[in-house]
Structure 1
Amino acid sequence: MLGAKAMRGARIILAVAGAVLLAAAAPFAPPDAGTRTIYRHATLIDGTGAPPRPDMAVVTDGDRIEAVAADAALAPAQLQGARIVDLTGRWLLPGLIDSHQHMATPPDPVRARAWLRRDIYSGITATRIMADDLRSIAELDREARTGEIAGPDLAFAAVMAGPSFFADPRTHAISAGWTPGETPWAQSIDDSTDLRLAVARAKGTGATAIKIYANLPARLVRAIAAEAHRQGMRVWTHAMVFPATPAEVIAAGPDTMSHSCYLAYQLSSPPPQSYQDRFPVDYPAFAHGDNPVMTRLFEEMRRRHIILDATLNVYAEADRRAAAPGGRPYHCTLDLAGRLTDQARRQGVEISAGTDGDTPATAAWPALFDELELLVLRAGMTPLQAIHSATQVGAQAMGEGDRRGTIQPGRIADLVVLDRDPTADIANMRSVVLTVKHGRPFARSDYVPITAAEVPDDD
């Protein structure tokens, strides 16, 4: 047996080894409380939509923002012991949020980690996952939050849809080992479903929201939304749930609605009766400017504080596919999606910046930058409004508006530093030089591009 001295020595060795293993396992972990950094002399865009403020300082302590002040107002005591980062001539924004992404349909952790790495080094510090195999997503989120991998935090939804939707091959891709429609993260719902149990099962996956997807009548959309809210979960829906119309979805009181063009189905008579039977929207109804039916829909969305997850990127990609040889028209065009989003914006509906897709692995920047440009060029936003959509509104869409999305004391220290002025040209968002997630810096110069070994089949 070991003596007392030997035992103490063994414990020390084990403790040191454990610390080394922990450090190796979490190379991107947030700093400890008491680790203070001051970002000085920046032009601050705080995410609230307020105008930029020159020569500002942001003080972080561990993973939180401690103070925001004019640089000249910093007290000497604040500077003592702090790491100083001089941002003269640069712009400081909240970390960006992609409000609509998929990372595990089907699950491929190597591919997903590569995309998440590109995101974090591009300024994206949080992402809303809108339906996937949540077994994989929950593990990716754990790895990102603990710092084992470089990536944004993930907030994710469990899916509910009508039984007929589960013929969709994507539901099979996310349900390996289970019967599609019977998993806790993607459930088939009908009038016989125990909704209290269904929502509780979904909540047990770590999901913070229910995504109401398709092939459900209005009464079930209302019932699911009410039970999800009762159990403290967010409700994220498609803007039409087929056959539930946009007006019926709005009446159910979701927190967010996705895809601008689905709202146009309110004018189709009859509207599509299932997700699989979607057809082009009624374009002539929008030929003479704002449609009064849409005006009433947007007014009700504004009144209920429902965020529109516009996903203009989806329609831009659809236009490109339709224009290619052998391409087929989508149910809606980017032109109409942009006009609907613009009308919603003018009527006071908050718009989040979600992509529902991404750029090729060979691209230097993710699709969120394309979405921001589309919000400016197609939906009438100013660059400052687009930034607001990708920061404060994105955080609200996630259900984390009290924790992130703006630069103010007490919030999570998620920041992004740009080399060029994004308010002069939204394309300047692609000048990221530094991301800070939970207080931990990620220099763009350290970014390792996605490799063919990680994503061998993407161009």
Structure 2
Amino acid sequence: MSLTSDRAGAATPFAPPETGAVVVYRGATLFDGTGSPPRPGTSIVVDGSVIRAVVDDTDPAAVVEGAEVVDLTGQFVTPGLVDAHQHLATPPDRPAAEAVLRRLVHSGVTSVRDMADDLRQIGDLARAARVGEIPAPDIHYAALMAGPGFFDDPRTHQVSQGAVAGEVPWMQAVTDASDLPLAVALARGTSAAAIKVYADLDASLVAAITAEAHRQGVPVWAHAAVFPASPGDVVAAGVDSVSHVTLVAHEAATGPLTSYKDKPPVDHASLVTGEDERLEKLFARMREQGVVLDATAGLYTSHEFATDDPEAAERAARNTELAIALTRQAHRAGVELATGTDYETPPEEPFPALYEELAFLVRRCGLPAADVLRSATLVGARSAGAGHLTGSVEPGKLADLAVFARDPLADIDHLRTITLTVKRGRRFPRAAHTTDRPGENR
């Protein structure tokens, strides 16, 4: 058998265009994600998959001989959106995952952070998205580490089918006796963008995993409380991001933290004031260290927690109240927020959960729309370790853009006027999207 082959392999109809294919997106009002005010009458010059220039429409650099011109007069452009907390393969279901990804990329989402799943499937989805076999955002994913007690969770078996949960490179049980350099190397071998520190680990182990991961150049994404490691322990370990603002509340737990399955009550009355000093100190340290908070603030208002059980409904309402208070407090303290969801809207819905999270942050948490859009773009990209590649509309970065007929800064629901996504220079018109099939890419 020959070691070489001229077979083309699978078709890549959604591949990024080649360098030299120049497109000028002209006439839009641009929110570039850097913190600068919106710029009307802006031209974005894209060469292949990369932004070459961002200039005023009247600038000579906006005129490129032979370039295709896309007129966006009257429309609004933001960087491609980022969902910083997705689970695409728990359990693995390739058609369902591809449908979610297809809807995301036709809704302006150009990157997602997958927070640990069956990486055998996620790795292939990430590859297929990157080379253009499927219409999808780029996928940045984590391998998971937790204490042995976590691995009787049925989800760990769903993502380790055919193997032993806790004994696979993408989902490892870690103890004081573990060979951490080897464990991190195994996680790296899955092509994971990060290690997710999940549950049932004490402060010293969280710190040791984080130190070894950073030594090997791997970011660490952690649950905000790891049990028995507290939020303060997790931040002190030097992790890069923490997930779930309601877990931050365990910095003010009324009892000792023992295990993920045995969470003690929190001081709800103190925390919903948004002025608890214990959290104020924690948020100050997060700001100083640049730890990103993936708040998943609207999770408990989602259909996932809709119930006719009064007791469960009351728990969800209290968690929502807590999420609002703590997200506001974190924002006031200057903590960088990423917009993760940790759920998806039902398949028949036209738009993804990310739109609901952004609306929750604006309407329920009272955050300025400009701050929320920055969270959903540049901060989200940074949370995924991709801030050098995407998240803002600047020369040298990937051509990841979302185009809206109406200004989402004026009304966050204007996200639903999405007309076009550009991901790595490849256009995904909203009109090409249906829930049944990908449609034709232009």
| Structure 1 residues 124-163: aligned runs within 5 Å | 124-163=109-148
Report runs of 4+ in structure 1 exceeding 6 Å deviation. Answer: none
TM-score when normalising by structure 1: 0.91
Q: Is the 8 A contact 1:418 1:433 kept in 2?
A: yes
Deviations 1:196-225 (A, max 9, x none): 000000000010100000000000000000
Q: Is the 8 A contact 1:313 1:357 kept in 2?
A: no
Question: What amino acid sits opposite 1:353 in the alignment?
Answer: T
| 1:193 positional shift | 0.2
Aligned to 2:286: 301
* Equivalent residue for 2:22, pick from 12, 25, 36: 36
| Structure 1 residues 259-270: aligned runs within 5 Å | 259-270=244-255
Aligned to 1:338: 324
Give SS of 1:125's match. Answer: strand
* Equivalent residue for 1:216, pick from 201, 213, 226: 201
Distance 1:323 1:235 in 2: 38
Question: What amino acid sits opposite 2:353 in the alignment?
Answer: A
Distance 1:414 1:321, change over 3 A: same
Aligned to 2:380: 394
Deviations 1:220-246 (A, max 9, x none): 000000000000001000000011001
Aligned to 1:71: 57
Q: Which moved more, 1:36-45 or 1:266-275?
A: 266-275
Distance 1:403 1:269 in 2: 43
| Structure 1 residues 73-92: aligned runs within 5 Å | 73-75=59-61, 78-92=63-77
| 1:328 positional shift | 5.5
Distance 1:192 1:320, change over 3 A: closer
Find out whether 1:96 has 2:81 as its counterpart.
Answer: yes
| 1:280 positional shift | 4.3
Distance 1:341 1:91 in 2: 27
Structure number with larger C-alpha Rg: 1
Find out whether 1:246 has 2:231 as its counterpart.
Answer: yes
Q: How many residues align?
A: 432
Find out whether 1:418 has 2:404 as its counterpart.
Answer: yes
Question: What amino acid sits opposite 2:351 in the alignment?
Answer: W
Aligned to 2:266: 281
Question: What amino acid sits opposite 1:228 in the alignment?
Answer: A
TM-score when normalising by structure 2: 0.94
| Structure 1 residues 48-67: aligned runs within 5 Å | 48-67=34-53
Q: Which moved more, 1:215-224 or 1:327-336?
A: 327-336
Give SS of 1:59's match. Answer: strand
| 1:288 positional shift | 4.0
Q: Percent identity?
A: 49
* Equivalent residue for 1:121, pick from 93, 103, 106: 106
Question: What amino acid sits opposite 1:112 in the alignment?
Answer: A
| 1:281 positional shift | 2.6
Q: Is the 8 A contact 2:254 2:265 kept in 1?
A: no
Distance 1:329 1:133 in 2: 33
Aligned to 2:340: 354
Q: Is the 8 A contact 1:298 1:347 kept in 2?
A: yes
Aligned to 2:370: 384
Find out whether 1:166 has 2:136 as its counterpart.
Answer: no
* Equivalent residue for 2:178, pick from 161, 173, 193: 193
Give SS of 1:216's match. Answer: coil
RMSD, aligned α-carbons: 1.7
* Equivalent residue for 1:313, pick from 291, 295, 298: 298
Question: What amino acid sits opposite 1:214 in the alignment?
Answer: A
Question: What amino acid sits opposite 1:278 in the alignment?
Answer: K
Distance 1:265 1:304 in 2: 20
**Residue ranges of structure 2 left out of the alignment (5+ in a row):** 438-442
Q: Is the 8 A contact 1:393 1:401 kept in 2?
A: yes
Aligned to 1:4: none
Q: Is the 8 A contact 2:272 2:321 kept in 1?
A: no
Distance 1:189 1:318, change over 3 A: farther
Distance 1:312 1:327 in 2: 18
